[in-house]
Amino acid sequence: MGRKKSILMLAMENLIMLAVAKKLFQRNRTVQIIPVGMFHSRPEEELNKGIRPEDDALHPYSGRFYWEWWYFDASFDDGSRCVLELQTPNLLNVFADECAMLFNVYMPDGRVYNNIVPFPGSMWKASTKSCDVSIGENTIKGNFPEYRVCFKHNNLACDLTFENLLPGWTRGTGEVMFGFPERKHVFGWVVAQPRASVTGTLTVDGEKRQVRGTGYHDHNWGNGFLPSYISHWVWGRLTTDRVTMIFADVCTSKKCGKYKIPVIFLAIDGSIVLESANARFEVSDYRFDSRGFQVYPAKLEFKFTERGISGSFEMNFKEELEMVNTLAEKLPASFIKIFGKVLAAPAYYRFLADYSGTIRRGDEVVELNGETHWEYMVLGLKRGEIPEGWRNIPM
C-alpha cells in the first residue's frame, strides 16, 4: 500500500506540475503562427534535390521544454513490422533527467511487443553535423542514401540498414514557428527517408531472422511547451508499388487560433511530384480507446489538389496497435475518469486501417486500396473531447 501511495503521489505531482507549467507558458502568449516555406508546392526538380546531412542532425535549441526524436519503421516480407525511435527527453517522464528508446515489434502470429525504455539522460549522445545518435549501445547512424539502426532490449534486437528509394524531403526549413521570432519556439519535421528498402536481422524471443522489406525515417524536434501550441494531429502514410504518400493535419491550440496545418507529400514511380498544404481533412466515428480514457476517430477522409494533381482518400479503423497515455499510465483506473475531465493529458494512438482512394495527375487516374497505419496524437484535449471548430489557415 505504501508503494502504491508513493506512485500515486508522484503521478499527482507530475500532473499538477504539467498543469501549472501550461498555465504559466500560456500567459501573455501571442497567437502568431509562422510556417516557414509551408504553402505552395515547389517544382519537381526542386522537390527531388534532397536534404543536407545537418537537416537530420541534432537541433539543440535552448529552453526547459526542448525535445527531439528520430523515428524509423519497417514492414517486412514475412508480415512482421517494427517501429524504432530514440528520443530526448523521455516523453513519458518529462520532469526526470531521462532519455528513451522506443522498440516495438508486431509479428504475423499475433505477438506484440511495445516498449518505451528509459535511460539516464547522461547516456544521450547526438551530433549536430549529421544523423549520429546513441543511447549506450543503441545507435542510429547515417546520411543519404544509407542509415543503420542497431537496438537491443531484453528479448528483442535489430541490426537494420535503411537505403533511400526517394530523396529526403522537408518543407522550407522544416519548421513552424510560434510566437515572436526572437523566442525561437518551433516545431520541426524532416523526412530523411520517405521510402527506403530495409535489410538486416530482427531477433525476437531468441530467434534471429534475416528480414527484407520497406521502411521510412523521419525526425521531429521543438523547444516550446507543445500543448500550448498544438492541440492534436493525425499523421500517416501509404505505400504501393508506384506510389508513396505521407499525410498530416496538425491542429493548433485554442491559444493559437484553432488552425489546421495540412501537409501532403506524394511520389510516383521513384520521383517526388507534389508537396501541398491545399488539403482538407475530416475525422469521424469517434470511439473510446481500449483503456476507456480518451476517444479517437475511427474514420479519416482527406482530399487535396495542387498543380494539376488531386487525390481523395478514405481510411477505416481495423485495430488499435498502440496506445501511450500519460494519465492512464500514471493513475489507477478509478482516478482516470475523474482527472481526465479536468486535465488535458497527452495521448498517442497508432491504428491499422483499410484505405481506398484515387489520384489524378493530368490524364492519368490511379486507383489505390490496401492496408496501412496512421496515428492520432492528442496534446490539448480532455477526456472524451471531440475536436470541433478547427479551420484551415487561409491560403
Residues 132-158 pLDDT 10s: 999 999 999 999 999 999 999 999 999
Full 3-state SS string of 167-231: CCECCCCCEEEECCHHHCEEEEEEEEEEEEEEEEEEEECCEEEEEEEEEEEEEEEECCCHHHHEE
C-beta separation of 96 from 89 below 8 A: yes
> What average pLDDT score do residues 91-97 get?
81
The Cα–Cα gap between 258 and 23 comes to 18
> Is the pLDDT confidence value at 217 over 60?
yes
More confident residue, 153 or 178: 153
> Is the pLDDT confidence value at 260 over 50?
yes
Residue 113 neighbours by CB distance under 10 Å:
16
> What average pLDDT score do residues 103-123 get?
95
Most distant CA pair in the chain, distance? 70
Highest mean pLDDT among 85-99, 356-370, 380-394: 356-370
**Res. 11 pLDDT band, cuts 50 70 90:** very low
Task: Characterize 72-106 residue by residue with b for buried, 16 or more Cβ atoms within 10 angstroms of its Cβ, and e for exposed.
Answer: bbbbbeeebbbbbbbbbbbbbbbeeebbbbbbbbb
Q: Which residues are CB-neighbours of 26 under 8 A, at least 6 positions away?
A: 228, 255
DSSP line for 260-317? EEEEEEEEETTEEEEEES-EEEEEEEEEE-TTSS-EEEEEEEEEEEETTEEEEEEEEE
The Cα–Cα gap between 118 and 94 comes to 11
The answer to whether domain 1-30+227-395 has CATH 1.10.3720.10 is no
**Res. 39 pLDDT band, cuts 50 70 90:** low
Share of the chain above pLDDT 70, in %: 83
Residues 316-370 pLDDT 10s: 999 998 888 766 566 666 666 666 666 667 889 999 999 999 999 999 999 999 9
CA-nearest of 25, 30, 53, 19 to 223 is 25
Looking at residue 257, its pLDDT comes to: 84
Residues 273-316 pLDDT 10s: 999 989 999 999 999 988 788 889 999 999 999 999 999 999 99
CA-nearest of 134, 140, 143, 136 to 160 is 140
Residue ranges per structural domain of the chain: 1-30+227-395, 39-224
More confident residue, 218 or 183: 218
More confident residue, 3 or 317: 317
> Is the pLDDT confidence value at 1 over 60?
no
> What average pLDDT score do residues 73-92 get?
93
The Cα–Cα gap between 258 and 2 comes to 43
**Res. 24 pLDDT band, cuts 50 70 90:** very low
Q: Hey, do 1-30+227-395 and 39-224 end up sharing a CATH topology, with the first three levels equal?
A: yes
* Average pLDDT score over the chain: 86
The verdict on whether omega for the bond into residue 120 sits within 30 degrees of 0, i.e. cis, is no
The strand pair at 124-126 and 116-120 is best described as unpaired
The Cα–Cα gap between 234 and 72 comes to 17
C-beta separation of 50 from 365 below 8 A: no
> Is the pLDDT confidence value at 224 over 90?
no
Q: Radius of gyration of the chain from Cα atoms?
A: 20
More confident residue, 123 or 10: 123
Burial class (CB in 10 A: 0-12, 13-18, 19+), 124: buried
- The alpha carbon dihedral of 368, 266, 217, 87 has a sign of negative
CA-nearest of 370, 375, 337 to 232 is 375
> What average pLDDT score do residues 230-246 get?
94
The Cα–Cα gap between 83 and 74 comes to 7
Looking at residue 38, its pLDDT comes to: 52
The Cα–Cα gap between 101 and 86 comes to 5
Write down the CATH number for the domain with range 39-224: 2.40.370.10
- The structure's pTM equals 0.86
